[in-house]
Amino acid sequence: MAVQQSAGADPYFPANGDARYRAHRYELTLDYRPGPNRLAGAARINAIAGRSPLAEFQLNLGDFKIGRVRVDGRQAHYTHRGGRLRVRPGKPVRAGAAFTVEVQWSGNPKPVASPWGGLGWEELEDGALVASQPVGAPSWYPCNDRPADKASYQISVTTPSAYSVVAGGRLLTRATKASTTTWVYEQPAPTSSYLVSLVIGRYETLLLGDPGLGGVPQHGHLPARLLPAFSRDFARQPAMMELFQELFGPYPFDEYAVVVTDEDLDVPVEAQGLSLFGANHVDGARSWERLVAHELAHQWFGNSVSIADWRHIWLNEGFAKYAEWLWSERSGGPGAQQLAAAAHRLLGSLPQDLRLSDPGRKWMFDDRLYERGGVALHALRCALGDEAFFRMLRGWASLHRGGAVTTEGFAAHAARFSAEPLDGLFEAWVHGTRLPPLPRQAPAVPARPTHPPTNAERR
């Protein structure tokens, strides 16, 4: 695994995260009561100090009452204001040393305010969900909230037994005692804080397809009333999984789940090993199938291969957008060339002042970033040809599995698969703002699986 992490604060969210240390394990023990929306939690965070001693460090956490903060088992001094929990150990943590932070907190979780609305914990009419991109994770647990700081997670949730709990990862145990049930999930893969999700509600669970020997277990969790429509709308997800493994390489996690809430959501949201959809995305007519492909593709691009900071978000969204077009092309819909041409026409009618490599905080979720990101990858595919392009994608996903990457790193990686320099292509499509002409030719997606990248191809 290669990691290209950014140094210092995230330029878009300088108040979030602390680059002076990195977390490598979170163990969260939560008790949630849906009626009063009451959360009590305890976190044990294993971390490693950076190159300098840590006289203090920061976690991000919302408006909760703090019960206790300890560092390596000893009471620590702390202040908690404006979403920042500043911790001062009894004695500084040595440079490069491992240390453990324990935090207890309680209160009524609420979303983090943002230009895109509330982020993170959302109380539903009957339950709750977490959708944190980009900075909503502190709405429910203390974390080093920067995308490059990736850790494994164990999450234990106790809630009334009438409710199901779904989290990304493998369900280890489910134990009922009196009127409550405790669910314990383990996610061993390195996970960014914003990709840690939790859904609490009254759901039915069904298996999507037959994973068979060596297949990927896929489950749906949804209200019983939506089962007939869901069974049609998500019927082709197992085929998407097969296609994306062919094109992008092995699925990077142990299993995949989709949750459909009993309420509408503006857009689906990806999490680690899990995607969240609203009831409005299930109509029995496959109206939103492109989004099913989009969220699944994020498991490779955005979740397993994460970004070093939010300037590089097109490496998440442009790749997932292009995966929509690849699925359409392979499943009998319009081809990627046709879809790229439509996106190009749309972009030509809109202001040309967005730079993929650094869109700015205001525009990081603008539709133009998604569409231009997809067309930029199509231009790269046209330049490389299919055989080299898909070898390049598989190598990218394999080399950086569990890591964090940058636009510069992707350009350098793609250049290894091209006989001609790609500097002009990246300058025009990724670093420039003016819309370049659309390439006129593009070969089809290979009809058969091609071989995985060799060690030489990965280098």
Using 50, 70 and 90 to split pLDDT, how confident is the model at 213?
low
pLDDT of residue 311: 98
Catalytic amino acids? 295, 370
Using 50, 70 and 90 to split pLDDT, how confident is the model at 448?
very low
Please state which CATH class domain 1-195 belongs to: mainly beta
pLDDT of residue 401: 98
Q: Where are the domains of the chain?
A: 1-195, 203-302, 306-458
pLDDT digits (tens, 9 = 90+) for 97-116: 999 999 999 999 999 999 99
- Is the pLDDT at 442 greater than 90? The verdict is no
Calculate mean pLDDT across residues 149-162: 98
Indicate the SS3 state at residue 79. strand
- Is the pLDDT at 21 greater than 80? The verdict is yes
Q: How far apart are CA 328 and CA 336, in angstroms?
A: 7
Using 50, 70 and 90 to split pLDDT, how confident is the model at 458?
very low
- State which fold the 306-458 domain adopts: Neutral Protease; domain 2 (1.10.390)
- State which fold the 203-302 domain adopts: Zincin-like (3.30.2010)
- 181 to 167, 184, 222, 224, 381: CA distances (angstroms): 15, 10, 19, 20, 50
Sequence-distant (≥ 6) Cβ neighbours of residue 311 within 8 angstroms? 11, 12, 357, 358, 359, 407
- 38 to 3, 159, 198: CA distances (angstroms): 38, 10, 15
Q: Which of 406, 408, 393 is nearest to 452 (CA)?
A: 393
Which segments within 50-163 are labelled E, that is strand? 57-60, 65-71, 74-75, 77-81, 84-88, 98-107, 120-124, 127-131, 151-160
What pTM did the predictor assign?
A: 0.93
* 77 carries a ligand binding annotation: no
pLDDT digits (tens, 9 = 90+) for 251-282: 999 999 999 999 999 999 999 999 999 999 99
State the first-to-last Cα distance of the chain, in angstroms, to the nearest integer. 12
pLDDT of residue 215: 87
pLDDT digits (tens, 9 = 90+) for 112-129: 999 999 999 999 999 999
* 378 carries a ligand binding annotation: no
Average confidence score pLDDT of the chain: 94
- Is the pLDDT at 451 greater than 80? The verdict is no
pLDDT digits (tens, 9 = 90+) for 159-210: 999 999 999 999 999 999 999 999 999 999 999 999 999 999 999 999 998 7
pLDDT of residue 456: 37
Report the relative pairing of strands 256-260 and 218-222 from DSSP bridges.
Answer: parallel
* 451 carries a ligand binding annotation: no
- Is the pLDDT at 3 greater than 60? The verdict is no
Mean pLDDT is lowest, of 156-160, 255-259, 334-338, 450-454, for 450-454
Q: Which of 321, 326, 336 is nearest to 371 (CA)?
A: 321
